[in-house]
Chain A
Amino acid sequence: MTTTKPAHLVLVIDDELAIRRVVRNAFQDSARVIEAGTGAAGIDRAAAERPDLIILDLGLADTSGLEVCREIRAWSSVPILVLSARHADAEKVQLLDAGADDYLTKPFSTSELQARARALLRRAATTTGQGEARIVIGDLVLDLTARALTRAGELLHLTPIEWDLLRVLMTHAGRTLTHQLLFREVWADKQFGDAQQYLRVYVAHLRRKIEADSLRPRYIHTEPGVGYRFATAAEFPRPPA
């Protein structure tokens, strides 16, 4: 172990030289960037060099980015940020279900790319285990052992489904969870009938309980056509003590 903090290693898989250069420029001060021009080369480099973050273009010449994503996810939990030229929501859902952590739609700005990458790297560093008993995000404290939720110290009452929904969202804070995934996690062991179509309604009720203004949510963010994302603790600046 050296005492200096090693720079992150970022692998960019893209068949466009220009985009690889854009990514390289964006990280020149913060990370070491390695490149692959095809999906196959990308998978090889990911296996050989174990990067801290993979930036993957969906439209590769030799194979689909979706396949590359599934392949890498089969043996690695490295964060994957996908670049896509299309605006199709169905595609985003597919990607997230295939294990991608986040996506950016072209054209994106350099600062957006940096911000998303930072968030993914930070999350990979902190979410070592999901076995924590207490999750603190903003004013919310979720106590998993006591099954209790407080906001600024005040106990909030949740229905069993709201509790499960919040637990899944908060334990995956920062990740966009697709409806399919949320439904699977929340209703896995329940008799659900036609509950799936009311998922959004449950989220609306939950928001009205935990958000100060449910129309300007700070905790549960809607990713239209894709799913929901819970804010990370880093999105709430701590007031100076």
Chain B
Amino acid sequence: MTPRAATRHWLTWVIATAGVTAVLLLVRRDLEKTHIALAYLLLVLAGSASAGHRVGLALAAVSFLLFDWGFIPPYNTLAITNPLDWFVLAAFLIVSVVAAELLHRAQREARTAGERESLREANRLKNALLASVSHDLRTPLTTIKALAHDLAGIDDRAMVIEQEADRLNRMVADLLDLTRVQSGTLVSTIEITPVDDLVGAALQRVSGAMPERNVRVELAEGGTLLIGRFDLAASLRILVNLIENAHKYSPAGAPIELLAVRRGAWIELTVGDAGPGVPEAERERIFQAFYRRPDVASDVGGTGLGLAIARGLAEAQGGTLRYLPRAGGGSLFVLSLPAADLPGQYADG
């Protein structure tokens, strides 16, 4: 409440109190003490309901004094002769203060319940929207893709339709994943996982899209099984994204390097390419959602969400994802995930 509005509030209730008192004084002769008490109680409740409990409490105190002054004989003094009147006044004060306080509390609870309810409603709407976007967009995309596939033998342009349907699907998937990463619901199962499993699944996943590209893999020296504590599906998504980026940005024929080592408490997976690298000013910005490098054509860059999702996924597993320039030109993306140590009996089957 602004100071001006607060002043106006107080003034309103001062006038209301004066008005009520004046009316009661006019008909004092015909009234009993219960009538007076009820009239003032209504005033306290009205003030408390509309202007807050501080106004309510102040009104209770003022009404108490006015009650005594104007309506408890002897009139027009605060003196009290009949001991029973003490009881009436005390009861009035207690009832009005308690009533004002209860009213205030009930209002506050109703307000927070309302806020909680609308928050829950917003969350429910968001989830429903996500589910329906994912279902309602993918179903027609399936039809478009399938029909385009059927027409591919008849008209070359059908292939473009199928490719574009795939691209649209990737965008939908990226948007959904970004919202899930941001709400922390994408990483579900952090388990003891061998790096072999992760690297193998990643190589399998990318082999279809880039059959000619050589991915040179180097694992820990001595053939030791590297074991981490991470979510396989989420880490796979990161690694596939990094390998696909390396494929997109490096010249044809240059191999992509994938290196996995144990460094202290971390498993470090490094994806290196011999592409142009990332200019110094861009090295943090490439991890921001929707950021697109000005020097890269938009049909190469994709949705601009891949690295933001990747970093979000890495951090959700207690890991990190960072960029380093590669010696001799190109980029290195380093994914660090928590390493795990096995009890002896599991170390060799």
With contacts A107-B142, A110-B150, A204-B194 taken as known, whether A214 is within 8 angstroms of B200 at the C-beta atoms is: yes
For residue B346, CB closer than 8 A to chain A, the reply is yes
A18 adjacent to B201 (CB under 8 Å): no
Given A25-B150, A90-B188, A85 contacting B145 (CB threshold 8 A): no
Kindly specify which of A2-10, A37-45, A146-154, A215-223 makes contact with the partner chain: A215-223
Interface residues on B, range: 35 or more
Among the stretches B4-12, B43-51, B225-233, the one at the interface with A is: B225-233
- Most central of B147, B166, B188, B349 by chain A CB within 10 Å: B349
Interface residues of A (CB under 8 A from B): 16, 18-19, 21-22, 25-26, 59, 83, 85-87, 89-90, 106-111, 113, 159, 161-162, 197-198, 200-208, 214-217, 221-222, 224-225
Q: Could you say which residues of chain A place their CB within 8 Å of the CB of B173?
A: 87
Q: Say which residue of B146, B231, B348 sits within 8 Å of A22 (CB atoms).
A: B146
Q: Which residue of B lies closest to A221 (CB)?
A: B204
- Tell whether, in the assembled complex, residue B192 and residue A224 are in contact, meaning their CB atoms are under 8 Å apart: no
Further 5 A-B residue pairs, CB within 8 A, beyond A200-B193, A216-B204: A19-B139, A59-B135, A162-B349, A200-B192, A201-B346
Inter-chain contact B200/A85, CB cutoff 8 Å: no
Show 26 residue pairs from A and B whose CB-CB distance is below 8 angstroms, ordered by the A residue.
Answer: A18-B142, A18-B143, A19-B143, A85-B134, A86-B131, A87-B173, A87-B176, A106-B138, A107-B165, A109-B162, A110-B149, A111-B149, A113-B146, A159-B349, A198-B192, A200-B192, A201-B192, A201-B227, A207-B196, A214-B196, A214-B200, A215-B217, A221-B204, A222-B200, A222-B201, A225-B231
Instruction: List chain B residues, Cβ under 8 A from A208.
Output: 196, 225
Majority SS at the chain B contact face: helix
Please give the distance in Å from B337's CB to the nearest CB on chain A: 14
B39 in contact (CB, < 8 A): no
Complex: A19 Cα to B169 Cα, angstroms: 16
- Tell me if B199 is interfacial: C-beta within 8 Å of chain A: yes
Which residue on B lies nearest to A105, using beta carbons?
B138
Q: Is the CB of B142 within 8 A of A19?
A: yes
Report how far A168 CA is from B346 CA in the complex, Å.
20
